[in-house]
């Protein structure tokens, strides 16, 4: 599965460091030989070329052999027990039933027409790939092809599946390894890869092919809106702000008058292609913003988890000094803190609005304090959320972070929210905003309260 989310390309995890950077402690830990690790991957195929790089880079994480505990593995277990049956419904096959079983709302639909998936030949501006998601699972659907799934496992990180999608047989789930990881891990630039999700933007032609790989970028909260969503359809209102969505580059001459080719502030996609086979006629701008932020934070959680578990195992085996280990952990935790607090995120210059159905279902899952406030409350006037600390802090993956890393994160977060950290990275957080976030956490995150009390 070349890309469960979007464009297949490389990402530097180094946060501005040179390619291949890793802390001395983490690198030393990874050099130790992997031991035999028991476990079972749900219907995973054998790896013909030998063990995955993870087996030697991160011997404490049995990615290729460990039992999957994610939402899709739980769903398959229900299917195998006969507790649930998926229904085939034309024209989308098992998709509708699968989304319902995974509690994924159709309003989360985003559409990508760049040919950047395992099924690239079936993707075209007239037949875009649909992506649906909730907090833990991403489902990709291409017409007349298998369903692609990326799912967040609390211990293993991003795990991938393909689902047969034809009426002739019940849906068969296969746990994928090398096929999907060919693009969902790029260890050459990350200095020791981890499985991850991809959300990118690039100039796309009328057939869905990228016009230029040089123009492709990985999108984060820090990416200007004008550079986002190349190769994606985008519906919703964003005022005078522009983006690359909905554009198809016909010839290189289009770049001479590029601004005139931008297409935005549209509420449906009905005028651009036949939307009847899809669950909605939208590719919602707010869903796209949430998708990008969530994937970015989840990726960094996995990185911190992998590196921390590896370096602590090395300390226990006396291969790495404890001081070096703490320095290594702190490096990843600081990157995670910045992502979760939207450090350097671009400001919106006009209000943004999308599908009310997506906003409503997203906010229904909120954890609220006694005043009714939540980290899921949208702002959409100058920034994505009213209280800019990522709601991903409530996820099972975050809760599964090694105790050393989570404690360090909570202490640093408390420093920022109390105003003890006045560094430029967090200068955009006003005292009132910091205090509101702190009050929300104290009321809704007991382990945070316990961590800062000790």
- Give, as one character, the DSSP assignment of residue 145: S
Q: Give the pLDDT of residue 60.
A: 87
Q: Cα 142–144–149 angle (5° rounding)?
A: 40
Please tell me the least confidently modeled range out of 199-203, 308-312, 353-357: 199-203
* 268 neighbors 281 (Cβ within 8 angstroms): yes
This prediction's pTM: 0.88
Please tell me the least confidently modeled range out of 212-216, 352-356, 366-370: 212-216
Which one is predicted more confidently, 302 or 194? 302
Please tell me the least confidently modeled range out of 38-42, 159-163, 239-243: 38-42
- Say how far apart CA 280 and CA 229 lie, in whole Å: 19
324 confidence band (pLDDT: 50, 70, 90): confident
Largest CA distance in the chain: 64
Residues 6+ apart with CB under 8 A from 394: 367, 375, 444, 445
Residue 453 has pLDDT above 50, yes or no: yes
Please tell me the least confidently modeled range out of 193-207, 273-287, 385-399: 193-207
Over residues 7-54, the pLDDT tens digits come to 332 222 223 333 334 454 554 444 332 332 222 234 344 444 456 777
Please tell me the least confidently modeled range out of 31-35, 247-251, 349-353: 31-35
Nearest C-alpha neighbor of 303 from the set 330, 336, 280: 336
* 33 neighbors 57 (Cβ within 8 angstroms): no
* 11 neighbors 186 (Cβ within 8 angstroms): yes
- Per cent of the chain over pLDDT 70 is 85
Which one is predicted more confidently, 272 or 318? 272
Q: How far apart are the first and last CA of the chain?
A: 45
Nearest C-alpha neighbor of 218 from the set 231, 207, 206, 209: 231
DSSP string, 31-78: TSPPPP-----TTPPP-TTSS-THHHH-TTS-TTTSPP-SHHHHHHHH
Please tell me the least confidently modeled range out of 106-120, 229-243, 379-393, 426-440: 106-120
- Give, as one character, the DSSP assignment of residue 347: P
Query: In sequence order, what are the beta bridge partners of 378?
Result: 385
What mean pLDDT do residues 266-278 have? 97
- Say how far apart CA 261 and CA 95 lie, in whole Å: 34
Which one is predicted more confidently, 409 or 316? 409
* 292 neighbors 220 (Cβ within 8 angstroms): yes
* 322 neighbors 404 (Cβ within 8 angstroms): no
Over residues 101-116, the pLDDT tens digits come to 999 999 999 999 998 7
Nearest C-alpha neighbor of 329 from the set 402, 385, 422: 402
Residues 6+ apart with CB under 8 A from 318: none
63 confidence band (pLDDT: 50, 70, 90): confident
Element (H, E) at 130: strand 129-133
């Amino acid at each position: 599965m070349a890309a469960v989310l979007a464009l297949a390309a490389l990402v530097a995890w180094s946060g501005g460091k040179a390619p291949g950077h890793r802390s001395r402690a983490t690198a030393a830990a990874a050099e130790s030989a992997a031991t035999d690790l028991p476990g079972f991957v749900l219907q995973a195929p054998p790896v013909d070329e030998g063990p995955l790089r993870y087996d030697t880079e991160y011997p404490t994480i049995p990615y290729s052999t460990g039992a999957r505990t994610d939402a899709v593995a739980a769903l398959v277990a229900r299917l195998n027990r006969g507790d649930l049956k998926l229904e085939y419904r034309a024209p989308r096959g098992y998709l509708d039933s699968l989304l319902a079983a995974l509690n994924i709302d159709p309003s989360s639909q985003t559409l990508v027409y760049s040919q950047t998936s395992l099924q690239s030949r079936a993707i075209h501006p007239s037949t875009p790939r649909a992506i649906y998601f909730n907090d833990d699972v991403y489902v990709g659907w291409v017409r007349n092809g298998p369903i692609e799934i990326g799912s967040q496992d609390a211990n293993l990180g991003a795990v991938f599946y393909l689902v047969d999608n034809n009426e002739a047989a019940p849906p068969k789930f296969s746990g994928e390894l090398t096929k999907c990881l060919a693009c969902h891990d790029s260890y050459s630039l990350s200095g020791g890869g981890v499985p991850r999700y991809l959300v990118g933007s690039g100039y796309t032609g009328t057939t869905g092919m990228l016009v230029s790989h040089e123009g492709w970028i990985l999108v984060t909260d820090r990416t200007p809106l004008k550079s986002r969503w190349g190769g994606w359809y985008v519906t919703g209102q964003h005022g005078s702000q522009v983006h690359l969505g909905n554009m198809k580059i016909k010839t290189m001459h289009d770049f001479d008058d590029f601004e005139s080719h931008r297409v935005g502030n549209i509420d449906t996609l009905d005028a651009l292609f036949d939307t009847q086979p899809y669950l909605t006629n939208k590719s919602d701008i707010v869903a796209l913003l949430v998708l990008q932020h969530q994937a970015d934070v989840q990726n960094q959680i996995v990185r911190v988890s992998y590196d921390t578990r590896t370096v602590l195992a090395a300390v226990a085996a006396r291969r790495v000094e404890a001081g070096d280990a703490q320095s290594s952990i702190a490096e990843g935790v600081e990157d995670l803190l910045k992502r979760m607090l939207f450090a350097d995120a671009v400001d919106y210059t006009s209000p943004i609005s999308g599908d009310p159905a997506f906003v409503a279902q997203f906010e229904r899952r909120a954890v609220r304090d006694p005043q009714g406030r939540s980290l899921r409350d949208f702002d959409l006037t100058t920034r994505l959320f009213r209280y800019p600390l990522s709601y991903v802090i409530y996820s099972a993956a975050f809760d599964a972070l090694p105790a050393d890393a989570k404690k360090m994160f909570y202490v640093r977060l408390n420093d920022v929210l109390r105003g003890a950290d006045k560094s430029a990275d967090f200068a955009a957080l006003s005292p009132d905003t910091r205090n509101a976030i702190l009050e929300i956490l104290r009321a809704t995150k007991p382990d945070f309260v316990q961590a800062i009390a000790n």
